[in-house]
Structure 1
């Protein structure tokens, strides 16, 4: 019940805010002429402003009350002022709400001032600017802002709702202007001034609507994060699809008003014709406004109640296929067929232009354009389809961590190596006896072209028309996900061959395995402890082969620590008590003992370099490897002395890389702890 009340309260205050913003913008573009602001429709519009402003304040109070009720689980606590005070003081949501409320109160005061003073274009513009502040505050508690309070996250959403206000909020003013004609005008023709106002608003509305679509695409791309299957398989996607459908209908109505009704109104020759055309335009604008209000309600639910697409679970994909450009584009004739289909669909735009020029009827225009678009999609989309399964978009329940990968390697050696080979290249001892050619899972981009759910399905139930059996009866669900993690570890490890001792600025695309560990002095931790705080140098070493390097790191630790770099040392083999004493003597950074084996096994998958492919047989683990992981959890650089002799032996080079990482300002989502 509280969620329903909260949704209506957010919608109520947001709609009121948008109407004030849009109405003020409408009055600004109405013109400089004083007679414009003395019209009855302007007076009626201004009477709404105080009520709308107070509605924003009331809506915010109800919203906070429902939020506190949901958080505490006890509605009776809403009667305790201290609970409200503590929530506002101690939570980011409460602090943003306080700023939101202050901006709404300021808007209410200015609206009252506006009503009691001379009407002027500049004051309406200033009122519109004040009305944008609560909308920006609203953007700061959206799903986009939840990913991080950064300009890149908040600004697109803020622009999206501000632009929506400029368009949607202007419709009531347009309706009142048309109402004046329908109810008051008896015999005069359409006013040149009012036609000018309508033309200005119509001319402004088109680019504003295009910008609304553009910012919506940007926000949607951020929210979906390549998880576009959620558009047709989750409540969030269904709501967004409904929103998009409504927007398309609204755009069609707006285009009709602009291209048909507005010219008719402008060319009216007498009072009866003016009133008739004004009534027709008003009817369609009213429908447009009502649909926009419904769209706003759906948008409110999406923004505040629905689980974001990237986090929505698709436990059962409903279709036997899915679209994938990555997996199909390089197949024979796919690109040609897709481009031909898009060209056919693009002809619809040419038909629209030529049809308008030739004064075709609206039905003819829509019918021919629709046939071209549908035909184009029928040609372009089928080549991009690949087989899908109920588990295709299943999200892994097992983290992509060192323990899972290490155990997955053991399962792979037991069940898969005879066919797929020791490094997953499809060259096992049984490979030649099979009826199908096995894929190279190491060097080919199969983990990019297919989802983790695809691999889980194949491991569980086998692959149709191949010799691949299913292991659902032999392996537990967790075991199968461990195998999936290992397969991804193989592929990501091969992708890491592009790494070198020098970072590529702002290139964060390799997700390393996370891990838990215990050091020789009993301290425990996880790699994620360093997120947002420090970069990590993971040193995987052999003893005594790495003795000189460990000594060098000890001697330069103060300089490295000054750059806010943490060091974790991980031995490749179990150290004897004597070796442990040697290594830890005056060691200023942690030495991992519990969890070391799993860390070594999982990070050894990233041992290959551009000049040392290591693709034959089982491969070999170098005696020494170092990995530089940034504060967002991404693997950014790597040094393997066996392949790059100098590298970070030059401590200054290492310090330089850490400095570059420290100076990066580009905000990104932290590396995922699950494969996707």
Structure 2
């Protein structure tokens, strides 16, 4: 019940606010003609303004009540004034609500002034500005504002709302004009009314185009390129419904602009005029009703979990479309570009049909058939098999503990077929079966979703020796295997790293880990995000002794470059060895968590000159990694394979200096594999 009240409160206050704003914009535009001030419909519209402003105030109170109940988890708090006051005083959403309520009260005051003042054009201009303020403030509690309040995040949503108001809010005035025309058939008044409607229709087209553009920008932020969510989440289906309603509205607007209004505005009445006016009145009423539904859908969308955060537990289709996974296959690029070109031709025929005045049937059939052919060319090549788990998100973070456990599971269950390094070097006894997949050098983890890999690990792959492990491994263990395979693939890609960073081109996320050190420090690698770079030193003892003397001597210099050093042993240290190292170095030596860190970063050991693809793999005795303050591996020095490298401390500090000069090129990587 609370949710229903909340939805109605949000819908009613938004609808009322949009009507006041749009009507004032409409009146400000057409009142350049002084005759409008004498029109009866203007007085009727002005009488509604204070009532609409009051609905905004009451609707906001309803929003506060239901928000309070949801925040406290107590239904009765919806009527508890003290609980309201606490929300308003102690939360950001409460502060924004207070601002919206004050602006709504200001709107009511100004609408009363308009109601009891002589009609002047600038009154409506100011009225539109005042009505816009609660709408703009409302964008601060949109999905965009909920994540971050910045000019870039709020502007598209605020513009979208204002543009919606300019169109939707003028529809009541449109209806009043048509209704007045039916009651009074004075030709002069009809021509004046037709002029007002044509002015509205003229601005409606660019407004609707901009409305669609800002809507695409706002929706894309909520989808974050996860377009499959459009057909598998509540947010996606609501957005599809909103687009369908909008398409119907645009069709009505087109008919009104190019078919009915020209007859309505004719200087001399003809036998068709009353019929056209009745037709126009009927369809504008339908448009207004559809607009109310559109605002309701927008309200529901604003309170639905964004698609980018939705969890798809079960993908309902046996296929999916993926350009990324199919682009390298034969003829796929050519077919895709051919289909896109044909689709562009289909769209252009809509314009051509209007220019050469094709019949209605031809204008529908020609672009429709071309579009169907274009889709028939494009979609089959990019269609691949999908599974119920295809879009499942990992329940286990992509961290060193998970990767290390996955490496042990891989050694126990997968090495016989895939080989110790995942190259697919196992022996296949049945010649009719496919060879084991090369999980190391082939881009499988990049071209398939984590859900696909999880499905194959769980249920196996028909026609191969790959068994399913759903009965022998827990769900968490299977996700650990997925994380290991991603680390394996990313580690192979990391062979392109060297001892010099590539400026402003982060590509490889640094696996996170927890640690404790000999100096009682500890935490997580993410603790350094947005604060410090990290020089991660994987060492063997006593082979790394001379290097430690170098790092110890340069430690203060490195710290001044906003960088911390973490030393990670590649084997267990005795107390005596730990003390020997501690006497040399002033930076933390990891004593807990080192096995998982070692197992994980061992996967990132390869260099271009030594790809290390055969046998069980080599483990260099000393490796160093630079992780920037945003969580990306930016450079690596493998002492055994890459020569002098960072033995020259100036070469190391130069890389750190370059990193410190960079801004946030990419946002920090997420916690899960994708």
**1:2 maps to which residue?**
2
Relative distance call for 1:583 and 1:156 in structure 2 (3 A) is farther
Pairwise CA RMSD of aligned residues?
Answer: 2.8
Candidates 597, 602, 608, aligned match of 1:604: 602
* 1:95 and 2:95 matched: yes
Cα distance in 2 between the residues matched to 1:103 and 1:62:
16
* 1:289-308 superposed Cα distances (whole Å, 9 cap, x missing partner): 2112111111211111x222
Tell me which moved more, 117-126 or 4-13: 117-126
2:529/2:629 contact within 8 Å kept: yes
2:551/2:585 contact within 8 Å kept: no
Cα distance in 1 between the residues matched to 2:277 and 2:138:
36
* 1:240 and 2:239 matched: yes
2:394/2:673 contact within 8 Å kept: yes
Relative distance call for 1:381 and 1:148 in structure 2 (3 A) is same
* 1:456-475 superposed Cα distances (whole Å, 9 cap, x missing partner): 11111111233322222322
Q: CA deviation at 1:406?
A: 0.8
Relative distance call for 1:3 and 1:528 in structure 2 (3 A) is farther
Q: CA deviation at 1:646?
A: 3.3
**2:22 maps to which residue?**
22
Relative distance call for 1:179 and 1:560 in structure 2 (3 A) is farther
**1:50 maps to which residue?**
50
Relative distance call for 1:145 and 1:189 in structure 2 (3 A) is closer
* 1:159-193 superposed Cα distances (whole Å, 9 cap, x missing partner): 222222222222222222222212222444742x5
The count of residues paired between Structure 1 and Structure 2 equals 671
**2:509 maps to which residue?**
511
**2:307 maps to which residue?**
309
* 1:366-421 superposed Cα distances (whole Å, 9 cap, x missing partner): 23332332232123211110011111111111111111111111111222223222
**1:255 maps to which residue?**
254
Superposed, which structure 2 residues align to 1:282-321 within 5 Å? 282-304=281-303, 306-321=304-319
Q: CA deviation at 1:109?
A: 2.9
Q: CA deviation at 1:63?
A: 0.7
Relative distance call for 1:389 and 1:285 in structure 2 (3 A) is same
2:605/2:620 contact within 8 Å kept: yes
Runs (5+) with no aligned partner, structure 1: none
Cα distance in 1 between the residues matched to 2:365 and 2:655:
65
Superposed, which structure 2 residues align to 1:626-637 within 5 Å? 626-637=624-635
SS, match of residue 622 in structure 1: coil
Q: CA deviation at 1:451?
A: 0.6
Superposed, which structure 2 residues align to 1:164-563 within 5 Å? 164-188=164-188, 190-191=190-191, 193-267=192-266, 269-270=268-269, 274-304=273-303, 306-430=304-428, 435-500=433-498, 503=501, 507-558=505-556, 560-562=558-560
Cα distance in 2 between the residues matched to 1:658 and 1:326:
31
* 1:618-651 superposed Cα distances (whole Å, 9 cap, x missing partner): 3333333333444443444444444374358225
Cα distance in 1 between the residues matched to 2:504 and 2:169:
40
Cα distance in 2 between the residues matched to 1:507 and 1:63:
45
Cα distance in 2 between the residues matched to 1:398 and 1:524:
22
Cα distance in 2 between the residues matched to 1:277 and 1:594:
82
2:501/2:655 contact within 8 Å kept: no
Cα distance in 2 between the residues matched to 1:503 and 1:106:
56
* 1:13-56 superposed Cα distances (whole Å, 9 cap, x missing partner): 11122222222222232252222233222222222222222222
2:508/2:632 contact within 8 Å kept: yes
Q: CA deviation at 1:254?
A: 1.6
* 1:222-273 superposed Cα distances (whole Å, 9 cap, x missing partner): 2222322221112222211111211221222222222212222233522875
Runs (5+) with no aligned partner, structure 2: none
Q: CA deviation at 1:480?
A: 1.3
Cα distance in 1 between the residues matched to 2:119 and 2:312:
55
